[in-house]
Amino acid sequence: MSQKFTKDMTFHQALQMSPEVAKVLGQFNLGCVGCMGAMNETLEQGARAHGLDADVLLDALNAISD
């Protein structure tokens, strides 16, 4: 995968990029697959709302494409 995950990407957009995304989000206890907010909430907003560091989440997501 050549496209990188960014803070302003919605959870929905991220989930469409790879089936591995749901596994990574699960490691952070983010149940975004069934959440209605996933359509509009950015990765940064969601991370902040769950008390997570958005940069750590992005590093984990971008490791999928390595």
Q: Over the stretch 28-62, which tens digit does the pLDDT of each residue have?
A: 988 766 666 677 899 999 999 889 999 999 999 99
The predicted structure's pLDDT at residue 6? 96
> How far apart are the C-alpha atoms of 21 and 16, rounded to whole Å?
8
Residues 6 or more apart from 10 whose CB is under 8 A from it? Answer: 38, 39, 40, 41, 42, 43
Ordered by where they begin, the domains of the chain are 11-65 (1.10.3910.10)
Largest interatomic CA distance in the chain: 29
Helix or strand holding residue 55 (H, E):
helix 54-62
Q: What is the pLDDT of residue 25?
A: 93
* Predicted TM-score (pTM) of this structure: 0.85
| pLDDT 10s digits, 19-28 | 899 999 999 9
